[in-house]
Amino acid sequence: MSVSAASLGIPEVFNVATHFVDRNVAEGHGASTAIECGDERITYQAVLANVNRCGRALRERCGVRPEERVLLLMPDGPLFVYAFFGAIKIGAVPVPLNTLWKPADYEHVIRDSRAAVLIVGHELSQSVMAIAEDVLRQLRHIIVAGSPTGSAESCLEDLLAASATDLDPESTSRDAPAFWLYSSGSTGKPKGCVHLHHDMVVCAELFGRGILGITRHDRTFSVAKLFFAYGLGNGLYFPFSVGATTILSPGPPTPANVYGVIEKYRPTLFFSVPTSYGMLLATTKGDAADFDLHTVRLAVSAGEALPAALYERFKKRYGIDIIDGIGSTEALHMFISNRPGAIRPGSSGQVVSGYDARLLDDSGKEVAVGDVGNLWIRGDSVCAAYWNQHEKTKDTIDGHWLRTGDKYTRDADDYFWYCGRSDDMLKVGGVWVSPIEVENALIAHPAVLECAVVGREDHDGLVKPEAFVALRSGNEPTPELAVALQQFVRERLADYKRPRWVQFIPELPKTATGKIQRYRLRSSSPG
């Protein structure tokens, strides 16, 4: 049975920044460690002071008004936290952006969001410099974070240092926009999910407390970064909901880095995605001892279905359970999940208490147990709408129900089992990939006549993009050309979108009306 924000005790006048930041200090946890990042240990009292400084800087120095958008193109770290909650506290709307995107993606979001301010990490400033000048001019301010003090025209550290540490929160509604998260669409153009002030609290209560049993004594570490809906919960508002410690790592999530963070910082809750679990399992330490994960009481997986074999191998090697589940950017976090003591490897688990789920056929009727149906979910963390996407909103959100686009079966014990997508979208490493976007990149190569991209399972049973390519006359299908096409895509799109395999075929299979028959390509894949 789905629960409402009001039933969870969230008042009508509510600013969520005070719930996750101010409240911990007011309840006497100001001296507790909120963030560990590199050599920094930051208390909740220091977080509150810097959130207030950032809010004041945005309002007083940058003229940011309530409901104006503030783009955050930042690596994981304390500055992200200050900017995110600082913007929310003054009633503005932070919009975390994928740090793996290309300049064209950022141009689209700047135009689409009509943001007032962009805060960019010093490490990511090259991506901003490549954005067209006429697009950048739409922003009133560009603030650089993490650069040496005074080295940028507008430096976040300078703004924080010059701002006071007290700040009264904007009197926002629990149903007012608090932040947006952009989710890739079937055409590859990101679409903004408008999330409200109560949404993070709902997820923290229903999944953080209800499934994880998180307490202030926990230490969280998430491989998924804060700009992901999944990572935002894991690495920020779950630990902040109970005064726990989050371990933030701005570096790339290579197995060496991930193991290094776990061994050094000793998390109790570890969050990752199936592709990363596969990479961790493929990595050995090189001596008689294995990596030390003994502090981890529970591991969590989402983003794509976790194959049972990966669960069993991780459990056997480390003695740690992985609870797998399904969530979405639209729903903010997980709404179906396995849970401690109730794990069925290979399944997505059972409905999280506080949400509802149903499986419907294409005519809208409930399917029988064991039959495949379209997954719809209901819960009070679902976004209000897609920004500037009226028709897409109506197609996806029907009253209180969200069409997930996933096909599932449900067994007699109410465990849900993933059967694929109802469209052609792919989940790769926990991130959506549009085949159309990859195809559009490939077709721009002078050797390519036509192409199609489908999903293919790798040796771990995880889906990756595979490209089927028909060449223009005069081009030979060589291994060197296949590598060149992969690099061609990599230069134009985020690296995770590149095809892992390229197969050359004389022509694509099509229907009588010219539509590509993707199912025939999937069935011909050696995976």
Q: What is the pLDDT of residues 152-166, one digit of tens each?
A: 568 999 999 999 999
Q: Three-state SS for 208?
A: helix
pLDDT computed for residue 186 by the predictor:
56
Longest distance between any two alpha carbons in the chain, whole Å: 73
Which range has the worst mean pLDDT, 139-143, 344-348, 448-452, 475-479? 448-452
Contact present, 285 and 254 (Cβ < 8 Å): no
Cβ-proximal residues to 190 (8 Å cutoff; 6+ apart), any chain: 98, 105, 108, 109, 112, 182, 183, 184
pLDDT computed for residue 520 by the predictor:
85
Beta-bridge partners for 513: none
Instruction: Calculate what percentage of the chain has a pLDDT beyond 90.
Output: 82
Tens of pLDDT along 355-377? 999 999 989 999 999 988 999 99
**What separation in angstroms does the CA of 446 have from each of 309, 434, 437, 450, 492?**
41, 22, 17, 11, 15
pLDDT computed for residue 423 by the predictor:
78
**Residue 185 pLDDT exceeds 70:** no
DSSP per residue, 125-162:
HHHHHTS-HHHHTT-SEEEEESSPTTSSSSBHHHHHHT
**Residue 94 pLDDT exceeds 60:** yes
What are the helix (H) ranges across 305-461?
308-318, 390-396, 435-443
17 torsion bin: left (phi>0), alpha (psi -120 to 50), beta (else): alpha
Cβ-proximal residues to 347 (8 Å cutoff; 6+ apart), any chain: 324, 338, 411, 415, 416, 417
The arithmetic mean of pLDDT across residues 443-462, rounded, is 91
pLDDT computed for residue 1 by the predictor:
81
In the chain, CATH 3.40.50.12780 covers 11-271+279-302
**Element at 117 (helix H, strand E):** strand 117-121
DSSP per residue, 437-486:
HHHHHHHTSTTEEEEEEEEEE-TTS-EEEEEEEEEPTT----HHHHHHHH
481: nearest Cα among 431, 523, 445: 445
pLDDT computed for residue 513 by the predictor:
54
450 token code pair: 């036509």
Contact present, 306 and 337 (Cβ < 8 Å): no
Tens of pLDDT along 492-515? 999 999 999 999 999 888 765 556
| C-beta atoms surrounding 50 within 10 Å | 22
In the chain, CATH 3.30.300.30 covers 426-524
Look up tokens 């074999």; give the residue.
309
431 token code pair: 């991130």
pLDDT computed for residue 430 by the predictor:
83
Q: Specify the long-range contacts of residues 473-482, CB closer than 8 Å, at least 24 apart.
A: 475/447, 477/504, 481/447
Domain range 426-524, CATH class: alpha beta
170 token code pair: 């904007």
Strands 69-73 and 40-43: unpaired
| C-beta atoms surrounding 138 within 10 Å | 14
Contact present, 355 and 400 (Cβ < 8 Å): no
* Better-scored residue on pLDDT, 465 or 522: 465
**Residue 218 pLDDT exceeds 60:** yes
- Residue 367 is classified by DSSP as P
pLDDT computed for residue 440 by the predictor:
82
User: CATH homologous superfamily of domain 11-271+279-302?
Assistant: ANL, N-terminal domain (3.40.50.12780)
The arithmetic mean of pLDDT across residues 183-210, rounded, is 90
Instruction: Kindly indicate the confidence band of residue 424, based on its pLDDT and cuts at 50, 70 and 90.
Output: confident
Instruction: Kindly indicate the confidence band of residue 150, based on its pLDDT and cuts at 50, 70 and 90.
Output: low
**Residue 463 pLDDT exceeds 70:** yes
Instruction: Calculate what percentage of the chain has a pLDDT beyond 70.
Output: 96
pLDDT computed for residue 514 by the predictor:
59
Rounded Cα distance, 258 and 274, in Å: 14
Tens of pLDDT along 269-308? 999 998 899 999 989 988 878 999 999 999 999 988 888 8
Rounded Cα distance, 307 and 312, in Å: 9
> pTM here?
0.87
Torsion sign over Cα 299, 305, 308, 313: negative
pLDDT computed for residue 176 by the predictor:
98
